[in-house]
Structure 1
Amino acid sequence: MNGAAEYSVLNDGYQIVQMGGAANQTTLNNGVLQVYGAANDTTIKGGRLIVKKMGGRLCRYRKGRTTGG
């Protein structure tokens, strides 16, 4: 996905938000959300959040409530 994933819910599967994009107020119930940019106010109930910026990993395998990226 290019751009943004805003107010979205990922129940299963793998979602990628491309470079310069953002995942804002996204709920991750299961699966993997990989963001090249920022993940703001993200709720993770299960699965993995991977946030990368400029080729470097900012955070990975966060569980629970995560704010910021």
Structure 2
Amino acid sequence: MIDDKVKIKCTKCSQIFRERAQKIRNGFQTNCQHCNRLITFDTSSEDNNIRRALMSAKEVRMALEARPKEGSVAQV
């Protein structure tokens, strides 16, 4: 089973927390769970932690979409 959460490293406190990959998209905002800093996910951000989280979330979403559905398997 594929884990649908992505690790995010806060730039301010350097702590790592996790968020669902379906939520993390360009323009999404969340607060760090440790220091409560507002983190805005933007593809043009200079912060490597934000860009890394966006790329990881995109990869997880593509992997989840590519896997076959359990209920749609053809019966022979």
* Same fold (TM > 0.5): no
**Structure showing the higher helix proportion among its residues:** 2
Q: Which has the higher contact order (CA 8 A, sep 6+)?
A: 2
**Structure showing the higher strand proportion among its residues:** 1
TM-score range, shorter chain: under 0.3
